[in-house]
Amino acid sequence: MRKDEMALYYDRYFPRRFGKGGGKHYAILGIGGNIGDVRERFAKLIRYLRQSALLRLIESSPILKNPPFGYTDQPDFYNAVLSIRTNLGPTALLRYLLFVEKRFKRVRRFKNGPRTLDIDILFYDDLHLRTSRLTLPHPHWRERESVLIPLAFLHREER
C-alpha cells in the first residue's frame, strides 16, 4: 500500500472522546466501508451507537482513506477505530454488530469485496479466543495499516 494514497480526515465525530465508563468490558472496534458516502455513514453510525443501551462509545480515531487490499478493483476504503465499553460478552457483541451492519445495508458478496459498512472486533479486554465465528484479538490487525494508523490515535490511558 502506497503512503501517498492515504489521507486522514477529521470531522465532528472523528476523532472524538465521548466519555468514560458504561460497561465492565473494554473493546476496540474497527469500522470500514467504500460504497456511497462512507464518511456520512460513519457519522450516522456514531449517532446510532450513542443511542444504544448495549454499549458506550469512549473514543474514535480520525478516519483513514486508504487503497483496498485483496480484491483491488474497487473504490478506496475509509477506516477508523472506536473504543467502547459494554456488558455484552464477545459473542453477543459480535451478534449485535452484525445486526448493526445489516441496519446499515451491509451485503456480504465475497471476501474483501466492496461494502457499505464493516464492523470488526479488534480487541476485547485482554481476551484470546478462537471459535468458528470469532477470533480475538482480530487475526490480521498487525498487518493492516487501516487498523494500525487509526489505532495509534487512541489515548493510551483508555487501552
pLDDT tens string 128-154: 999 999 999 998 898 899 999 999 999
Residue of higher predicted confidence among 139 and 62? 62
- What is the mean pLDDT of the segment spanning 39-55? 97
The per-residue pLDDT for 61 is: 98
The per-residue pLDDT for 1 is: 46
Cis peptide, bond prior to residue 114, ω within 30 of zero: no
- What is the mean pLDDT of the segment spanning 68-87? 90
For the beta carbon of residue 98, count every other beta carbon within 10 angstroms.
Answer: 14
Q: What is the pTM of this model?
A: 0.91
Which residues form the domain of 11?
A: 3-158
Q: For residue 152, give the nearest of 8, 3, 36 by alpha carbon.
A: 8
CATH code of the domain containing 115: 3.30.70.560
Residue of higher predicted confidence among 72 and 111? 72
Confidence of residue 95 (pLDDT cuts 50, 70, 90): very high
Count structural domains, the chain.
1
User: What's the N-to-C CA distance of the chain in angstroms?
Assistant: 27
* Residue 121, helix vs strand vs coil: strand
| 86, three cell numbers | 459494554
Q: Match 470500514 to its residue by C-alpha cell.
A: 32
